[in-house]
Chains A and B, each alone.
Chain A
Amino acid sequence: MQPLTLRRLVLRCTALAGVLFVVVVLALKLGAVQVSLYGLAQDLIRFALHQTKEISSNYSLIVFDIRLPRILLGVFVGASLAVAGTSFQALLRNPLADPYVLGVSSGAAVGAILAVMIAPHLALSPDAAVLLTPVGAFFGALVTIAGVYLLGQRDGEIDSTTLLLAGIITASFLNALIMLLLNLISGRDHGGMSFWLMGDLSTPLQDNLQWVMRAGFFLAAGAIYTTASDLNLLLAGEKEALHLGVDVPRVRIVVYVAASILTGLAVSVSGAIGYVGLLVPHVMRMIFGSDHRILIPAAAFGGAIAVVLADMLARTVAAPSELPVGAMTALAGAPLFIYLLRRRMA
């Protein structure tokens, strides 16, 4: 009997943070323009000490102005998607649930595109107009998860198969809607089809959106984390959790809203990246077990690592041209998923 202690939680998170750091350094180094590891180390130390003048300017431009913001974006997008996936899997008691499979990412994309469409008609300052996109994506995600939750019920209870089918149908419908909307507004700058359907991290972010992304992530992931013990009990079913003192309706609301925020933020800045929310929680569960007090932070780190790695590969495999990061996560994720599925059945 070894209950989880704060010490063990911190140790494991530190280890994962170490892995994330290594991956980030690697991603800073690799790319169409080669950077030496030694030079990078020197520059990183100078950067940390705020001695930015001593960094040579072309390094600085490539590494700190182009690669670093993109990597940080990947960190938050990956962490958001993985935490959203983990909580959907627990709340819906479905190991295949994730924002992408359930159509929630597509719903968020529709919301974001609608926000882009109506933004010019509202008399908003440019700064406020930018923030309309994540808000639209959040509502898109929230409406979609509510819809899929209702469609996925049978005899008043969530049915795994019905839920997944409802999600898949919803996703394909919404993806068609995305194409329709994009055609209606073609000609304006709104990100391409591959951005919304496959996910892409190459679009640089405005500063205020960066901050909204970070604050939103910590707020929503923190809210989900406060329900970690409740989610452990919900794995056994809502009735059982109720008998063990879980305020099920409250947990459901907190998690759906927070997961919609996470999905909405991720989709509004990077489009719909698949497989991260589905696979990262599984891999982390294999390593750390299914206790959400450790699984949620582990999934956040794991998601960040996965997306940064995938984006690094997307930038380098066909350099100097780039793949969308979602194509990379699907290329790596689908075979991994089949492997896990076969292993589970064996």
Chain B
Amino acid sequence: MAMMVLAARLDLTAARPLTDALLAHAGSDLTVDAGRVEHLGGLAVQALLAAAQRWRDDGCALAVWPRSAAFDDALARFGLTDAVPGQGAPAWA
């Protein structure tokens, strides 16, 4: 399973690089390490949601783990607490 680590600050500037980085792993199972995330912006969470859809469509597994407290807090604020698959979550396939 491929793995990628998210940057600490995922704001407007990170949206495109994050999308590129996720796309680079398209078609394979992927674990995204969100353990260092200090700021998760609206565009970055959108990219992660889009990846979740894409991975599901591709029949691949995607998990976001580990997650920093800031990442979880941001998800809660966005109303997406359970939206992004964590460890052990079923692949969106």
Q: Are A and B physically bound partners?
A: no
Interface residues of A (CB under 8 A from B): none
